[in-house]
Amino acid sequence: MALRLGDTAPDFTADSTQGRINFYDYLGTSWGILFSHPADFTPVCTTELGRAANLSDEFTRRNTKMMALSVDALDNHHQWTQDIEETQGAAVNYPIVADHDRKVAELYDMIHPNASEKFTVRSVFIIDPAKKVRLTLTYPAAVGRNFDELLRVIDALQLGDQHPVATPVDWRPGDDVIIGLGVKDEDIESKFPQGHRRVKPYLRYTSLPA
């Protein structure tokens, strides 16, 4: 069964490029991104894992840990990371799970038989410190993911956890945000003393620190 937003992310223990690893223990109190790729030694995946490695400081700044996964063997993972470092200019410093028995892929519904009966699709799960699924994305094998967008989503989720706000279309950190519908008009001034802009009764903007 597919995981839905708000579901508890399943825990698992598996072999990885950083040894035998337990998912919950690895995440600890951090946010997490679990993302699958169809196969090792493939061009799109090589660029993706390299991009993720290049952005590792940005994810760390957001208290977010990454973990990649495919159904290929651990030896392949280790060999492939050398290619990633050579071609993408960054060492992969997050674990890549070797899900050879497809247990994790099945837990997270990463294999879509109408796309491929063997390989995982490009699944993404953003998981919060309470181990709740906060975002899911599924890409086809031929389309690379946008890791800048994943950073943007994490920023928006963490902002929404701190303040009663939502983020409008194309929002970036530092842009105005939307005051949540649960905030009454009479409470806006106390919650947002920096001021606000009312467009419609249901559409009220304010600014927050980046």
Total-model pTM? 0.93
Burial annotation 56-88 (CB, 10 A radius, 16+ → b, else e): beebeeeebbbbbbbbbebebbeebbeebeeeb
* Rounded-to-10 torsion of CA 24, 155, 160, 36: -40
pLDDT score, position 1: 62
Q: Which domains does the chain have, with CATH numbers?
A: 13-146 (3.40.30.10), 163-206 (3.30.1020.10)
185 exposed, middle or buried (CB, 10 Å; 0-12, 13-18, 19+)? exposed
Alpha helices in 18-169 (DSSP H): 23-27, 43-54, 56-61, 74-88, 103-107, 147-162
pLDDT score, position 35: 95
pLDDT score, position 55: 98
Sheet containing 13-16, strands listed edge to edge, beginning at the edge strand earlier in sequence: 19-22, 13-16, 96-98, 64-70, 31-36, 122-127, 133-139
Instruction: Please calculate the CA angle 160-62-92 and round it to the nearest 5 degrees.
Output: 140
Q: Which of 9, 34, 44, 45 is catalytic?
A: 45
pLDDT score, position 46: 96
Would you call 45 a catalytic residue per the annotation? yes
Distance CA 75, CA 61 (A): 31
pLDDT score, position 2: 81
Per-residue pLDDT of the chain (210 residues; tens, 9 = 90+): 689 999 999 999 999 999 999 999 999 999 999 999 988 999 999 999 999 999 999 999 999 999 999 988 999 999 999 999 999 999 999 999 999 888 998 899 887 656 655 566 689 999 999 999 999 999 988 899 999 999 999 999 999 999 999 999 999 999 999 999 999 999 999 999 999 999 999 999 999 865
